Amino acid sequence: MRQDRQAMKRDRKRVRYLQKAYTKQVSKTGDPPILFDIMEMLGKEKVDRILQRQEEFDRVAPFGEEVEVTIERLSAHGDGLARSPMGDRVLVVPFALPEETVRVVPYGAERLYFKTRLVSRVKGQSSLRDDSLVQCRYFGQCGGCQYQMIPYEQQLQIKQNVVRKAFKHFSNLDSFLVPDVLPTVASPLTMHYRTKLTPHFDLPPALRRGKKNEDVDLAAISVPIGFDGASTGRVMDIEECPIGTATINAALPDEYAKIRSHIAEYKNGATVLLRDSLKNPEPETVAKQESMVVTDHHATVYELVGKTLFSTPAGAFFQNNRSIIPTVIDYVKDRVSARSSDQPKFLVDTYCGSGLFALTLAPIFHEVAGIEISASSIECAKRNAELNDITNAQFIAGSAENIFASISYPPEQTTVVIDPPRRGCDQLFMDQLVKLGPKEIIYGMYVL
């Protein structure tokens, strides 16, 4: 009886924690995309009933039991989605595709859905599946990739559909106002393209802060370094990652060995940075595209985009797919020049970071301005303008409340490029953009 009371107490604590975490997430980023899948799969009436009873985080059957289910669709993150046998939960199944019947064990209770561990594929093979395409020996275990068994052209269609659903569910627009979503632009490289990897590790209990023991045999302790397992949440050893560049993969063994040789010096686990960078900004190095790996967050890395050279702190954001950047720039450039005969003369690059769009597009505009709320990013962009002898660019550190205060370009001659962080633009920014009233807005790779 006492054990039952303790178990109930722990479960109430778990539910309170999940409720608090969910509320915090929604306040920051809005409803998660999976909520709309859940509403469509379970039905609004059933979802409302679960919510009214405050049972959305309960570990109801088949939690912890092996069950057989059929995958109905893919989530926005690429996981298979199925209904539980009782039809009151959605089951999230990694590496499973629509039309496939699988056996799974639900292990993680989230709001209205369970995370599951895939046991086996029982019958059926999705028309999307081609396992011969898989190039990673960890695929199916590592939680880093979901689509490797899907032909690339179909991956692009899936991603296009994700954007369509985002407009449908999050834009608050009437259906006739929702713009057409153009086909996803393909990356020139589908493997060995990523110029930044961030594997991590957790210290075993014997080495954690406050528990260290001088008598611990470090040689006997294994410390996996890599990425989280798809169904375990525990770090698994990743000795190579085929989406990372060859330069990064060549550096992994030495970097891991260095960490393990100093493992006793860490207070807790850590995330490891590996950035592929040009060795230096000298013309000869740039011409040969000689690269190296940088692991210090504060060190400078160099990247060449067309004829424009960029320097950024290694820990700062820069597009991690080197092969796609020229395609993105050309796409924006083509949209600007093709829109009308009276091409806008001024460009405003919002969320400009180190100046990627402003500096690469500067040659086709009379004047460009990059805007950021991060003062350090603005300083970086200014240095990049000097590095490339670009004189028609200015960079302004603005406040979120009045981001366009220093922009005096004629609206009818102004193009705004928006490449926002992952969470998108907030309402405050959008209101100011409407007030600015530019002739043209290019959002990421979509022209509005």
CB atoms within 10 A of CB 316: 17
Q: Strand order of the sheet with strand 393-397?
A: 393-397, 367-372, 346-350, 414-418, 440-443, 446-447
Query: Cα(257)–Cα(260) distance, rounded to whole angstroms?
Result: 5
CB 256 within 8 A of CB 168: no
CB atoms within 10 A of CB 299: 13
**Strand, helix or coil for residue 160:** helix
The annotation places the binding site at: 319, 351, 372, 419
Of 104, 69, 111, 106, nearest in space to 87 by CA:
69
Number of helices (H), then strands (E), in the chain: 10, 21
414-418 and 346-350 beta bridge pairing: parallel
DSSP 127-153: TT--GGG---TTBTTBSS-S-TTS-HH
234: left (phi over 0), alpha (psi -120 to 50) or beta: beta
CB 195 within 8 A of CB 209: no
Q: Which two tokens stand for residue 412?
A: 């009818």
Alpha carbon distance, N-terminus to C-terminus of the chain: 63
The annotation places the binding site for S-adenosyl-L-methionine at: 319, 351, 372, 419
Query: Token pair 């569910």 is at which residue?
Result: 169
Report residue 331 CA to chain centroid gap. Answer: 22
What are the angstrom distances between the C-alpha of 371 and each of 74, 194, 351, 439? 37, 27, 6, 18
CB 219 within 8 A of CB 207: no
Between vectors from CA 155 to CA 151 and to CA 161, what angle results, nearest 5°?
145
Q: Which two tokens stand for residue 299?
A: 């060190």
